[in-house]
Every structure is written in C-alpha cells, then in structure tokens.
Amino acid sequence: MEHSRAAVGEKLAEILTIYLKHNWADAPSSSKTITPATDMVTELQLDSFQVMEFMLEVEDHYDIAVDLDSLSNIHTINDLAAVVIAAQQD
C-alpha cells in the first residue's frame, strides 16, 4: 500500500492528535493543533517515552517496523511520513 507523503503526514497528525487526547489529556500538547509540519519535540514537547508510545501506534496502524536508529532524524510529522513510506516499500 503506497501513499503520498502529504496523505501519510495528514494521517500521522490525526493519529498523534488522538493518541495525545486519549493518553495525555492533561498535557498542554493535547490541545494543540497538529499538522504535518509540527515538530514533535520542540512544539509539542513530547518526551522520549511519549515518542516511543506514538511510534508503536504508528507501527501498528501501518503494520511496519521503524528502525530505531532513524528516530534521531525524525523531528516533524513529515519526517516521520518519509520513514513510514520507506518502511512500507521494504
């Protein structure tokens, strides 16, 4: 299943919004508008635990495995979209 980076970015923003509202409702980031350009660490202030939990949600949704080494290069939802697309092609 192949998708455009924009479509994957939009879906990831939706998944992250739902994840934050369900799991971190009290966190300030849960009320922010998340777009594909959103930086998960600087704008949303997600900690490493939250990022890892979100990555598990993404892996489950897309039925992929994300290489942990690539996480250090992922800052925005768009960065993650590129990684998801690459993992789908493997």
- Two tokens, residue 84: 């998801």
User: What pLDDT, on a 0 to 100 scale, did the predictor assign at position 30?
Assistant: 65
User: What pLDDT, on a 0 to 100 scale, did the predictor assign at position 80?
Assistant: 95
Task: Encode pLDDT of 43-63 as tens digits.
Answer: 988 888 888 899 999 999 999
User: What pLDDT, on a 0 to 100 scale, did the predictor assign at position 86?
Assistant: 92
9 close to 36: Cβ distance less than 8 angstroms: yes
Looking at the structure of the chain, the number of domains it has is 1
Tell me which DSSP letter residue 41 carries: T
Q: Which residues constitute the domain of residue 51?
A: 5-89
The CATH number assigned to the domain holding 60 equals: 1.10.1200.10
Segments in the chain below pLDDT 50:
1
User: What pLDDT, on a 0 to 100 scale, did the predictor assign at position 28?
Assistant: 66
